[in-house]
Structure 1
Amino acid sequence: MAKIKIDDKEYDTDALSAEAKDNLTNMRLCDERMQQIKRDAAITQTARNAYAAALKSALPKDA
């Protein structure tokens, strides 16, 4: 019997309608996807920083 809190009100998930349970599941999936996107963005930013550093070292020194 899990509980969730929405707008400062607590709900028993077992007592939710099928529609509410589906929406809760979809909301949780969205939360997980957003976390994955944040991790992917951090990885991409790290790679970009490495490419920028490599570019700087590959540029002509007397320009």
Structure 2
Amino acid sequence: MAKITIDNTEYEFDSLSDEAKAQLSSLQFVDAEMERLKAQMAVLQTARMSYSRALKEALPTIQGETIQFN
């Protein structure tokens, strides 16, 4: 039988109530979704840095200095 550990206590999955199984399923979904969003955020941050660099290169130089963006 499959066992799961929650707060350092081990449980037999099959012995959990339907409500506990549903809550566990929801928790697993939320954890997976958070990981997916973290990965998406990393991609978006990389794209933002690239667009920022491209914008800086496209801007005119003002008296020998370029405009700085954060």
Query: What TM-score results when the alignment is normalised by the length of structure 2?
Result: 0.84
What is the aligned length?
A: 63
CA offsets per residue over residues 7-35 of structure 1, 9 Å max, x none?
A: 11011111100000000000000001001
Query: Any gaps of 5 or more consecutive residues in structure 1?
Result: none
- Give 1 or 2 for the bigger CA radius of gyration: 2
Q: For the residues of structure 2 that align with 1:38 and 1:3, how far apart are their CA atoms?
A: 28
Alignment partner, residue 38 of structure 2: 38
CA RMSD of aligned residues (A): 1.0
Query: What TM-score results when the alignment is normalised by the length of structure 1?
Result: 0.93
Query: Any gaps of 5 or more consecutive residues in structure 2?
Result: 64-70
Structure with a larger share of its residues in helix = 1
% identical aligned pairs: 48
Q: Moved runs in structure 1, 4+ residues, more than 3 A?
A: none
The code of the aligned residue for 1:8 comes to: N
